[in-house]
Amino acid sequence: MRPAALAILCLLLTGAGSARWFHASPPGLAAPAIPSDNPLTAAKVELGRRLFYDADLSIDGTLSCASCHNQKHAFADSIATRPGATGEPGRRNAPGLANVAWFGRLTFADPALAALEAQVAVPVFGTHPVELGMAGQEAEIRARLGRDPCYRTMFRKAFPRDRGRIDFGNVARAIASFQRTLVSFDSPYDRQRLPPAAAEGERLFKRDCAACHAGPLFTDMAYHRLEPLDPGAADKGLAEATGQDGDAGMFRTPSLRNVMLTGPWWHDGSAKSAQDAVRRHGIDHPPEDAARLMAFLASLSDLEFTRDPALSLPGEACGKPL
Ligand code: HEC
Ligand code: HEC
């Protein structure tokens, strides 16, 4: 086949391949951008899923990505700020990972972090705070994974052009690929089955919330300061990344998909109820309207997503139980 024809065929194949994961997205939402050097394949997703649940990515073998991003909680954490593998306290609350394939800006306050591939390094190697605690341990990661014949097979299938090279770059590509399949658009809201109170709540939501919690992802991907600036706060929010004092106390609007399942809420997990989180915006609602808003937020829960076996801890790898 001529190179041009081959390129078109590859494009068609990768396009069609991705469609399988994104077919359920709402009309009007374009398929997410996939980096050209990391096309989505079933082999990479399978490898990434196993790595996401593997505590061998932490220094003492106690934590995996899934420890803080739990499927039951729509891949968020049920505790406010979980300490990392060395016991160092966490600083922020782990957000849910629904639909991160579409997110152009990752985490609460770092505009430079735009690609899922790059974000994987933060929990693995990060020191502020320490999460998985593997700073300086790239060789150890290669050694641990390389010892397992099944991982060697999985890397070969996922990265045939690299002849299955096991290194952090490919670990990150695989985990990013798995995370792109965390697609959640199957809530009562998506099925347009809103109970009357939720339908009332939707009207209020459009009026008071949708400017920031915008569109089908329920976020504008922008940074806002919702509370009066506390100069003593240890977490400076956006200012930590930009160095601009004016950005202190600003955080990225979180998606509200599955929000009833992702508590505790707020960037530091300090809101103990969703109602408390809404109150902290400083928008006053009479109690009956607050209840309607809660009914609407509850309609954003996609329970299938929280129990989809394709996204859960794999039971086996290479045909053998794990
Ligand atoms: C000790 C808990 C912990 C572990 C382990 C952990 N995370 Fe996180 N994760 C967090 C916290 C906290 C944040 C929010 C950080 C911030 O905003 O600064 C986060 C944010 C993220 C985000 C950004 C989501 C968004 O809405 O922008 C992604 C993606 C992510 N983590 C993936 C991973 C992956 C992949 C792993 C494993 C390699 C992992 N996490 C391991 C706690 C954890
Ligand atoms: C000006 C933009 C803006 C508006 C308007 C807004 N929000 Fe938010 N919302 C945010 C930001 C930013 C955060 C993150 C705050 C933090 O963690 O510090 C947030 C957080 C939340 C949370 C907590 C989510 C979590 O996972 O921790 C909920 C719930 C929420 N908003 C609901 C609402 C509702 C309901 C309305 C309308 C009554 C609303 N918001 C209006 C920007 C906005």
Give yes or no for residue 119 CB within 6 A of ligand 1: yes
- Six token digits for residue 109: 């306050």
Q: Which ligand does the CA of 52 lie closest to?
A: 1
Q: Is any ligand 1 atom within 6 A of the Cβ of residue 106?
A: yes
Nearest atom (ligand 2) to Cα of 93: 27
The pLDDT, as a whole number, for residue 4 is 54
Q: Is the CB of 100 under 6 A from ligand 1?
A: yes
- pLDDT tens sequence for the chain (322 residues): 455 554 444 444 444 568 889 988 998 899 999 999 999 999 999 999 999 999 999 999 999 999 999 999 999 999 999 999 999 999 999 999 999 999 999 999 999 999 999 999 999 999 999 999 999 999 999 999 999 999 999 999 999 999 999 999 999 999 999 999 999 999 999 999 999 999 999 999 999 999 999 999 999 999 999 999 999 999 999 999 999 999 999 999 999 999 999 999 999 999 999 999 999 999 999 999 999 999 999 999 999 999 999 999 999 999 999 9
- Kindly give the residue spans of alpha helices, DSSP state H, lying in the chain: 3-22, 42-52, 65-68, 116-119, 121-125, 138-146, 149-158, 168-180, 196-208, 239-242, 274-279, 287-298, 303-307
Domains 24-183+306-321 and 196-302 alike in fold: yes
What is the whole-number distance in angstroms between the Cα of residue 255 and the centre of ligand 1?
15
| Ligand positioned closest to the Cα atom of 73 | 2
Residue whose Cα lies nearest atom 42 of ligand 1: it is 94
Class of the CATH domain delimited by 24-183+306-321: mainly alpha
- What integer pLDDT is reported at residue 2 of this predicted model? 55
Backbone angles phi, psi at 142, to 5 degrees: -60, -45
How does DSSP assign 108-132, residue by residue? TT-TT---HHHHTHHHHH-BTTBSS
Degrees to nearest 5, angle at CA 302 with 296 and 306 = 140
Q: Is 275 a pocket residue for ligand 1 (Cβ < 6 Å)?
A: no
Residue of 65, 82, 103 with the most ligand 1 atoms within 8 Å of its CB, for mutation:
65
Provide the pLDDT for residue 27: 87
Task: Give 3-state DSSP helix, strand, coil % of the chain, rounded to 5.
Answer: 45, 5, 50
Rg (CA), the chain: 21
Listed by start position, the domains of the chain span: 24-183+306-321, 196-302
Does the domain formed by 196-302 have CATH 1.10.760.10? yes
Q: Which residues are near ligand 2 (CB < 6 Å)?
A: 208-209, 211-213, 224, 226, 251, 253-254, 256, 259, 262, 265-267, 274, 277-278, 281, 283, 293
Local structure of residue 223 (DSSP, 8 states):
E
**Residue 10 confidence (pLDDT):** 45
Query: Which 3 state secondary structure label does DSSP give 98?
Result: coil
Contacts of 32 (CB under 8 A, 6+ apart): 22, 101, 102, 180
Two tokens at 269? 């997990």
Quote the pLDDT of residue 12.
47
Residue 23 is predicted with a pLDDT of 87
Helix crossing, 168-180 with 42-52: angle to 10°? Answer: 100
321 burial via Cβ count (<10 Å: 0-12, 13-18, 19+): exposed
Distance 317 CA to ligand 2 centre (A): 40
pLDDT value, residue 24: 86
